[in-house]
Structure 1
């Protein structure tokens, strides 16, 4: 999964390899490479989609044989709802409604849209390099290592593959948090209530957990790419390892806590989940109304205000579903054209994880006191301790990522070490804050606001080279 995410990060249309020797006005001109990277992320997302769909169908057949109508109905709902949304997303991104493609639309109606899209991406990849094609557009990025601006030539093949990759990133997130997350919660709850484990159900739980972890990983990578859109970003394997451990532990402990709480207080879990969903759904809209902004006009040119509002509501619903189970890594701004606020706040991140830890602690404590007789043969106190330690480990890996593995950590003014040992920096005068000695490490953290001068590529250079450029 880390290799797929690395391919997804390194094969963006802005990531070129060969550089010509000429420089014009301090801009390095890079020519397009002769060989493009294979669309591994597209294939991986398609495999997860098909594996979860097939396994869910087999499990529904097993439920039908044992007359478990309730489990079967919910499994079908959590299987079909994300599948329909994925078909709509792929059709919307590729703009196939107004094109004469009956076979593609038929496969989308049969919920097999990802298969034909994956096939199209593979065909484009294997045909790449057969005919020499000129670049179709230019893009400029800042290389943090060299401190120079790089001009990139984008070919038609790379742009087409980038469209497929971007589409499947969105479908991976939709599949993870609108399908796999409720499916994993349901099957784990059914496994505890029925007091036995089916092999097919266990396989579906493993697939959904992998799908959720991958979807959360995609959210983190997309947040970095959106926040630092003008910078050439490349993540190392250690960064992906930290993110995978961070996301897997965070999601596993959260889902397990909710399921255990639901076994003790079944009806109360609906209130907890509903309040979480409503809070994160209305939070962007309340901020939007407080700012008295207007609806973003860049969603789709052909949409009316009603259509734009519907799309924004669906986008906000996805954002809320992500935050119910894990940190979404982005902050919505409905008035902005990109719908994302580039200035991410460390304070909001700290509040989220502090509040989530407190909520998990309360839920697991209530389960400990109101648990059913089935858990008498289980060391409940050990389960509580394991869940709390698991969530703390998730936060630890998150801090390690921002401290040592974030690709743009040289742009941050303060790192995690400074935030933990110098919390009073927020209350210091600006003069004293500016005269602070640099930290012993070059690691990163999230800032409330990033100074614009830090985004100047010349600030990444040593003083001697900076003077020579001036």
Structure 2
């Protein structure tokens, strides 16, 4: 895609649809008009449906456990429903800053654990009321940046409706992670364990297991997409359907084999699985803080303006807990940097990713071997060696789909200094001293039409056309 005009350029919206923008200078102010059609909030609706479906199916399962007097399983099922639901209400309230606003009905619905439902309805109302054109404007921060002579990328401004929908999408992406890894993964592990122990499958339990598996896979998918968007924030990325299918296969196989390995190990050595889970959780929880102390860094001050150091520490601990829970079951796709204002390290850590998957493969192998050695008589009716081999093969397939994604379907693969093929070539020729050739610097735009670089050319100096008095008023307002 070639375009020599730094003002008029084809971009890609959050949902992947191209949109056209027109810029003009009127009365010394650069106006950027967005004529794109606002995208429906599909991610908000999907996250809400998964939340409601899991809540309802878990409630029915709790009623069945109560009738059969399985108090222990009923207690764990209620815990894995209520805890993530409460955290989701707190997260939505935090993201939308409702505590300082007069919205008693919304807060009351949050107390009833119906916050995602009312937020989804709000997003749908905003979408259906939104017009096709929005009032153009220029942000104060961009004026200040241009006044200081900074080489800022051209930023297409969006209207109020699009900003509101974007806020809902961002909030529900975070709540999808909470729902998936603080609720759905332990719920799926519990129900699979109960199924093996009772030696028969209930339709209600099977429904709950399917819903939780979909929720976990969707949460892992959101985690991967968020990692790409954060790491390549200078680009508008768009994933093709083949990339989504590859990621679904990668994440689904990775999570399914991990949970199955833990459940099989727990049926043979019930109490030892608690130690395995706690060691995993503590390791991934302490690791970011150990790096933070080793760097002698300071806590970021812009997590929330009204937070004290204690409040910031509590938020960072909750964020680290979520990060640790993700890594217990699958690769989080990001590395935490508690000293950075975005809390995410943007550098691609290939070494850590390779170490994670190698270590996880070895751990799953050890768990399956211990299960095979101490398995109960029930598994005499199951071909245990074949089951163990299938689990290892499925985890290998998950790694294979991951490599295929990074080699062929990653939207920013042209930005990699070395791709998967280069790394494998280097490993194969390691004994002969072969090293991969440095890749040529990528072009400004991908030939795959999956990413668009935000232009970095100097925009027209609109500050020279603004009066000194107008700029002084702008700076005072900032």
TM-score, structure 2 as length reference: 0.83
Deviation at 1:297?
1.1
Q: Matched residue of 2:417: which SS?
A: coil
Deviation at 1:134?
2.9
1:315 and 2:302 correspond: no
Contact 2:33 2:135 in 1 (8 A): no
2:403 to 396, 399, 403: 399
1:182 aligned residue: 186
1:376 and 2:380 correspond: yes
1:31 and 2:33 correspond: yes
Indicate how the Cα distance of structure 1 residues 456 and 313 shifts in structure 2: closer, same or farther if over 3 A, else same: farther
Aligned mates of 1:459, 1:42 — CA distance in 2: 29
| Alignment gaps of 5+ in structure 2 | 1-11, 143-152, 448-456, 459-478
Tell me whether 315-324 or 193-202 shows the greater mean CA deviation.
193-202
Aligned mates of 2:366, 2:234 — CA distance in 1: 43
Report matched runs for 1:326-405 at 5 Å.
326-405=330-409
1:457 to 437, 444, 452: 444
| Alignment gaps of 5+ in structure 1 | 1-9, 141-148, 440-453, 461-468
Deviations 1:134-167 (A, max 9, x none): 3464999xxxxxxxx6541211111100000000
1:47 and 2:49 correspond: yes
1:103 aligned residue: 105
1:248 and 2:248 correspond: no
1:274 and 2:274 correspond: no
Indicate how the Cα distance of structure 1 residues 427 and 117 shifts in structure 2: closer, same or farther if over 3 A, else same: farther
Deviation at 1:34?
4.4
Aligned mates of 2:304, 2:86 — CA distance in 1: 20
Q: Matched residue of 2:100: which SS?
A: coil
1:146 aligned residue: none
1:134 aligned residue: 136
1:3 aligned residue: none
Q: Matched residue of 2:34: which SS?
A: coil
Aligned mates of 1:416, 1:138 — CA distance in 2: 43
Deviation at 1:426?
9.8
Q: Matched residue of 1:338: which SS?
A: coil
Aligned mates of 1:398, 1:29 — CA distance in 2: 43
Regions of 4+ moved over 4 Å: 13-16, 135-140, 424-429
2:157 to 133, 142, 153: 153
1:117 to 119, 127, 131: 119
1:209 and 2:213 correspond: yes
RCO (CA 8 Å, sep 6+): is it higher in 1 or 2?
A: 2
Aligned mates of 1:79, 1:125 — CA distance in 2: 30
Contact 2:34 2:133 in 1 (8 A): no
* Aligned Cα root-mean-square deviation (Å): 2.9
1:165 aligned residue: 169
Deviations 1:42-92 (A, max 9, x none): 000000000000000001111111111111111000000000000000000
Aligned mates of 2:183, 2:215 — CA distance in 1: 9
TM-score, structure 1 as length reference: 0.85
